A and B are shown apart, each in its own frame.
Chain A
Amino acid sequence: MGLRERMGLGGGRQNKAAVELPDIFDDEFLRQLELLQVIARRLIRGRQRAERKTRKTGSGLEFADHRSYSPGDDIRNVDWNVLARLNQTLVRLFEEDEDLPLRLVVDVSDSMLTKGAHKLIYAQKIIAALAYVGLAGLDRVGLTAMSGKAHETLPAIRGKSRIFRVFDFLRKAPLGGPTDIYGGCKRVAAQASLPGVTVVVSDFYDLQGAFDGLNLLRFQKHEVVAIQVIDPVEANPLDTGVRGDVTLVDVEGDASRDVTLSPAMLQAYAEAHERFCTTLANKCRSRGMPYFRANIDEPFDELVLRIFRLGGVLR
């Protein structure tokens, strides 16, 4: 795809309704995910398991503590040895193993659909990879596709074999609408019965709501991970060759603006874009939310492994 197409100069204003995504979830992609899962497993072995310990005591195998017997306790948990020696009726407590609720949120707004929707495709690949690794680790994985217009959720599923439901969801998820990070996150927070790890994959092209949405999830005890998908051509349009008097049309609305694009102005936009991304990253990190910038020119598997190496998504 050429720069001009990526900049939206190919055929004038794009037809939002006519976005057709290619089917990327083929066997080859599945094999890629298998390989990725193996590598990711190696990276998190030992300290990162799907069987995650919680502070809850329950039916796990590992002894945690004793407490006095209360009526109704399962007598199988009575520590008979202590009773025999000390004549005290104590109940053995075990740490309970709990699966990780992993919520993957993908932005399907129009801004993700520009120039062949390559940002959305890239985001879908990331989502699929994370879901696969999560499912393979026996985590409960739920998906949400959000925009200002649409909000579709795949309830939490478990088991590697359910990856095809993930693919189906991503294929059939509604597309389009304005970017509304805050609104989407609000609904995700409302729907989640248990707070878990919530990965939001978006371009975050929402000056006001981007960080507020993530922060809202954080307030709801979610462990938020932000992955910003960026098209470098959009971020720095200086190399596109677009100059002169043009009408800038908002892909997410009818607003337009007549401007004269000069190298200085394009440079100013690139700098403003970089400032925006840096500010978002700083805000996330300052509040303990891992932030990853995903350049669509970077192979998605490398990005996923980078995410695993740095940690934060799976433990």
Chain B
Amino acid sequence: MQLAGWALAELAVVFAAGAGVITLLYLLRMRRRQVVVPFAELWEQVTRESESRKLWRKLRRLFSWLIQLILLALVCLALGDPRPEVWLREPATTAIVIDTSASMAAVADEDGQTRLALALQRARAEVEALGPADRALIIAAGSEVSVPAPLTGEGGTLLAALDSAPPDPDSPINPKTRPRVRVGPGEADLGRALLLARNALGDQPTPRILVLTDGALDEAGVDAVDRCIERAKLEGEASCEVLDIGAPKSEDGEADTAFGRNVAITAFAARRYPSNPDQVEVLVEIQNLGAEPARFELRVTADGLPVGGKALELAPGDRALEVLPKLDAARERLVAELRPLEGADGNVDEASAGALGPSIDDRAYAVIPPLDPMEVTLVTDGGNLFLEAALLTLDDSVRLTTVGVDEGAASAVGDANLVFYDIAANPLPDPLPTTNLVIFDPHRVEGSPAPIPLLRELRSPRLSEQNEKHEILEGVVFKDVNMFQGTSFDLAPGDINLVSHLGEPIVALREGDHGVLQIGFDPRGSDLPLRTAFPLMIANAVDYFGRREAGFVAAIPIGASRELALADFGVPGEDVTLLEVLPPTPDNPIPARTSEDAEAGVERPTPLRVRAQDGRFRIRALVPGVYTITVKDGAAAGAVFEVAVNQANAAASNLESRLVDDHAVPEAHAAGPAPEPAPLSEGPLWTLIMLAAIALLTAEWASYHRRKTV
């Protein structure tokens, strides 16, 4: 506080002189007026009872004198025109950049406050410390950069933007009722946020950028902070201060690992079994990003009903790729959720709950893709009807195309997922098609392009051993199978010997980008087709390759602009130009289908219209959940498909600050403690002091006329 008006010495003189005059006047005032009364006896009767208040009468003279001195002091203070120091300095412009990435939802202190709460607290302190000529803007840096409060000097506007009150429960989908600065999924796009801040501060006086982040940034974010600090060293550039709100440090400077714990689902996908569409296989990748072991339960639900799950324990830093096979789920939308274990008393185990960290990455969504029939091509000379019959029995899941030997070239089989070569004595096409292959008797003709080379020819081989555990041979028994001749294969490391003749592989599998199953005999020359093992093996092989081929459709990661192909969702979309995207809301990540909502009277957000070109389109995927996309034109008009969007980003879930070592914030650019709030945001202080003096004078006047004071 400094005096902008009269100097302190001058004020002291004025006050001393005024106090002297007041004291003198009061001394004179203490001489009572004399009032002559004709009936003193009656007056004495009436005034006798006031004798008991004589002491107070004396004290209130002193009280009145003190009031007058206070009044004089206030007037002197007003003459001094006191102003807080923040008013006297040059006006400053501050861009407050708040990291709203997922990691900001982590608990930051023992009171349970999140990192974002601490950041907002600091931002409020900065706003409250603004002087009358200072201005500030607030930038929220999440997956998408937003400006909750533009450049303004109005503290109310800025504080309103920092209001962290929860949304109105009555209108959960109304974005106006939500806090303007809230944690979102994904990483903070600090690069764009800081660029925006620098541009906004371009011509402003005393520009300053304050970055409120937990330091749990991706490489781009760390680079952006580094660039901000480096540019701040240049003359004329905005200063850059960084406040690392990360996990609180203990007294020895080490991070408290208890606040950095987090387990995240980093991948989640599901698919149906081609051979059994009522069952799904789920793939979940989970990572323990904390520094302590984590025990928890993985649960998969469909429409709120659990369909599978298991308890897991992960060491610090471990990543688990869990495949939950054969889950019964006719529904198409699945939710994977990490849940704390229950303690012995039936309550939630606190340690388990604490290990999971922020909940934003403990849920993931998946849409089971539609199961298209598998494209199977049979290249045959037409002499093995047993094989064709075995494939035709798989009609539900297989679209069979039978071609002749001359049409079996790589270019002719097209996009088939699996090609059977049963061509007897005919040579295999060279090169073979780059897809999954099942080749019967591949080395009958010399110089065969079959991937697994010939070991030697066999006479009347016996199928003496078989790998019963392999999926292709599940339920298949090769016992007493007779055949005239066969070939054994020279396996390379990695090749799988499924069936062998006295130790020599006669049926082998090579896995790679495309699998190859080589069967070293011609079925025509054996009695195998007459056995149940033959169609069973064919079905197992189709299912095996089908699962390899029809892979999991991974969820889309969070992002402001994600490019997708219509073909990935089974929609022929070359002529599609317009799509309608219905996004989920944070409170309703898996919206019911439109028709169901209409029946239930549920209000839905307004669909977004997006353009498509050449079968590709972009969507804003900022909210995890299931997005419903409707094709509005083209041949596939009316087609509806769904896309799951997940955070699925280990870097975003990692709560550890990366502003360390080489990227540590220099001390000169580290934000200090929160500033003290400005005493008054605007207006000269002396007017308020004079108002106080007038108020005091009025009170004294009123009390004087009520004989409270003298």
A13 at interface by CB-CB < 8 Å: yes
Q: Answer whether A13 and B47 are a contact pair too, CB < 8 Å, given A244-B707, A253-B40, A272-B42.
A: no
B contact residues, range: 20 to 34
For residue A263, which residues in chain B have a CB less than 8 angstroms away from its CB? 706-707
Q: Answer whether A257 and B44 are a contact pair too, CB < 8 Å, given A243-B705, A244-B707.
A: yes
Cα distance A255–B43 when bound, in Å? 11
Which applies to chain A's interface (DSSP): helix, strand, loop or mixed?
mixed
Nearest-CB distance from B278 to chain A (Å)?
A: 95
Q: Is the CB of A260 within 8 A of B38?
A: no
Q: Which among B38, B43, B706, B710 is the interface contact of A111 at CB below 8 angstroms?
A: B38
Cα distance A276–B41 when bound, in Å? 11
For residue B42, which residues in chain A have a CB less than 8 angstroms away from its CB? 205, 207, 269, 272-273, 276
Q: Answer whether A265 and B46 are a contact pair too, CB < 8 Å, given A245-B710, A252-B40, A253-B40.
A: yes
A contact residues, range: 35 or more
Cα distance A9–B33 when bound, in Å? 8
Q: Is the CB of A13 within 8 A of B34?
A: yes
Q: Is the CB of A207 within 8 A of B41?
A: yes
Minimum CB distance partner of A235 in chain B: B39
Q: Which among B33, B39, B706 is the interface contact of A247 at CB below 8 angstroms?
A: B33
B45 at interface by CB-CB < 8 Å: yes
**A107-131 contacts to B (CB < 8 Å):** 110-112, 114
A44 at interface by CB-CB < 8 Å: no
Cα distance A263–B705 when bound, in Å? 9
Nearest-CB distance from B50 to chain A (Å)?
A: 6
Nearest-CB distance from B326 to chain A (Å)?
A: 96
A296 at interface by CB-CB < 8 Å: no
Nearest-CB distance from A28 to chain B (Å)?
A: 29
Q: Is the CB of A248 within 8 A of B37?
A: yes
Q: Which among B35, B40, B45, B46 is the interface contact of A242 at CB below 8 angstroms?
A: B35
Q: Is the CB of B707 within 8 A of A261?
A: yes
Q: Is the CB of B46 within 8 A of A248?
A: no
Q: Is the CB of B39 within 8 A of A257?
A: no
Q: Which among A7, A13, A258, A273 is the interface contact of B39 at CB below 8 angstroms?
A: A273
Nearest-CB distance from B48 to chain A (Å)?
A: 9
A180 at interface by CB-CB < 8 Å: no
Residue of B33, B39, B705 with highest tally of chain A CB at under 10 A: B39
Q: Is the CB of A262 within 8 A of B707?
A: yes
Q: Is the CB of A243 within 8 A of B45?
A: no
Q: Is the CB of A243 within 8 A of B707?
A: yes
Q: Is the CB of B35 within 8 A of A260?
A: no
Nearest-CB distance from A104 to chain B (Å)?
A: 22
Give per-residue flags for B420-432: 1 if the beta carbon is below 8 A from chain A beta carbons, else 0.
0000000000000
Q: Is the CB of A249 within 8 A of B36?
A: yes
For residue B34, which residues in chain A have a CB less than 8 angstroms away from its CB? 12-13, 246-247, 249, 256
A43 at interface by CB-CB < 8 Å: no
Cα distance A243–B33 when bound, in Å? 10
A259 at interface by CB-CB < 8 Å: yes
Cα distance A153–B220 when bound, in Å? 123
Q: Is the CB of A265 within 8 A of B40?
A: no
Q: Is the CB of B37 within 8 A of A8?
A: yes
A38 at interface by CB-CB < 8 Å: no
B32 at interface by CB-CB < 8 Å: yes
Q: Is the CB of B36 within 8 A of A14?
A: yes
Minimum CB distance partner of A111 in chain B: B38
Q: Is the CB of A265 within 8 A of B47?
A: yes
Apart from A9-B35, A244-B33, 9 more pairs, CB < 8 Å: A111-B39, A207-B41, A245-B710, A246-B34, A246-B35, A250-B36, A259-B47, A265-B50, A272-B46
Taking Cβ atoms with an 8 Å cutoff, the residues of B that contact A are 32-47, 50, 57, 705-707, 710
**What are 14 inter-chain pairs, A to B, with CB distance below 8 A?**
A8-B36, A14-B36, A111-B39, A203-B38, A206-B41, A243-B705, A244-B710, A246-B34, A248-B35, A248-B43, A249-B35, A251-B40, A252-B40, A260-B710
